[in-house]
Chain A
Amino acid sequence: MTELQRQLLNRLQRGLPLVSDPWGELGRELNADPLALREQVSLWLEDGILTRFGPLFDVERIGGAFTLAAMAVPEERFEAVHQQLLELPEVAHNYRREHRLNMWFVLAVSDASTIEPTLAHIEAITGLRVFNFPKQREFHVQLYLPV
């Protein structure tokens, strides 16, 4: 990664200037050609280094809800249960973690009232207890991964 690429990535993680010509402003800040900066972001999106460019909506502010949930899945059933969750559109992410509660997943739904029935459905199809960990309070972080 070049020094300019590093600077651009780090700068954009702190947010895009909300002005009519954001690339011009970034170009002045980083002393670089605005078009080159824009093309670089476009390449990163193609490469998958970036998954998104622009606003990231707050799911709760646009009427939806999400929760974190976990299950203790017997090792010999792990793959099968993972496949069952894969079929459910409400499951947004699923992680294997090193713990007795070894499957951790995020439910994202467009209507908060469907969280509980979805969790009950998962318990019914897997025969396993689901522990629901809805957020009670969020502590705001500055998401910044320097490169």
Chain B
Amino acid sequence: MNTPAALSRQQQQHLRSLLERGLPLCSEPYAELAKQIDSDTDSVLACVRDWQEDGLFRRFGLVVRHHALGYHANAMLVLDIPDALVASIGEQLAEEPRVTLCYQRPRRLPQWRYNLFCMIHGRARAEVEGEIAAVLHRHQLAHYPHEWLFSTQAFKQRGGHFSTFKAHAVDVGRHD
């Protein structure tokens, strides 16, 4: 592979703003991007790979609408896990294929005792409930206080105003 030239700061900014709109749907997308920022394919690819390794992207591929794929139900499973165990249990739960988000968040006592939040998707409510029971059983968590909150409506928002956050370019934890 040729040694790619480092992109200038301006080129990088330009490339980022182009990528925020998505990857061009053509046979050589990086060549197309290179043309637009006055660079070459290898340099653009090298920069994108660096960004990928650096963790600038959460994912590189598709964002699917769960509903469109038939995943119509989602519940937020919340658990009250002793602080000393929450990291290891969180890691275990994140490995579960049906867990689509998993975070430690603060308790808000006395109204809210839970510190581990997991999102679980399924095709129907009964399937999600079955999955929750199975997950709690597999990881021996049923004895910890927990609840699950089904989503009954997802509201459409009007688009945000700030250009860096073009609604779809960032992961803001959408669940639909």
Question: Using a CB–CB distance below 8 Å, which chain B residues touch chain A?
Answer: 16, 19-23, 25-31, 41-42, 45, 48-49, 51-52, 54-66, 68-71, 76, 86-87, 90-91, 93-94, 97, 99-106, 108, 111-112, 117, 121, 147, 149-155, 157-162, 164-165, 167-176
Contacts and interface: CB of A to CB of B under 8 A. Distances in A.
Residue of B19, B64, B97, B162 contacting most chain A CB atoms (<10 Å): B64
B105 A49 contact: no
Contacts of B51: 55
A66 B172 contact: yes
A58 B58 contact: yes
Contact of B105 (A58, A95, A135, A144): A135
A63 B91 CA distance: 26
A101 B101 CA distance: 19
A9 B89 CA distance: 30
Given A47-B68, A51-B65, A57-B170, A139 B25 contact: no
Interface string A72-92: 000000000010001101111
Given A49-B68, A145-B64, A136 B104 contact: yes
B62 to A, nearest CB: 5
Contact of B160 (A13, A23, A98, A108): A108
B94 A143 contact: no
> Chain A: interface secondary structure?
mixed
Contacts of B170: 56-59, 62, 64, 108
A96 interface: yes
B161 A134 contact: no
A56 B168 CA distance: 8
Interface residues of A, number: 73
Given A94-B155, A110-B165, A138 B103 contact: yes
B160 A144 contact: no
A56 B169 contact: yes
A50 B45 contact: no
A7 interface: no
A96 B153 contact: yes
Residue of A34, A49, A109 contacting most chain B CB atoms (<10 Å): A49
Nearest to B93: A139
A20 B43 CA distance: 11
Contact of B90 (A90, A95, A137, A147): A137
A87 to B, nearest CB: 8
A141 B100 contact: yes
A96 B157 contact: no
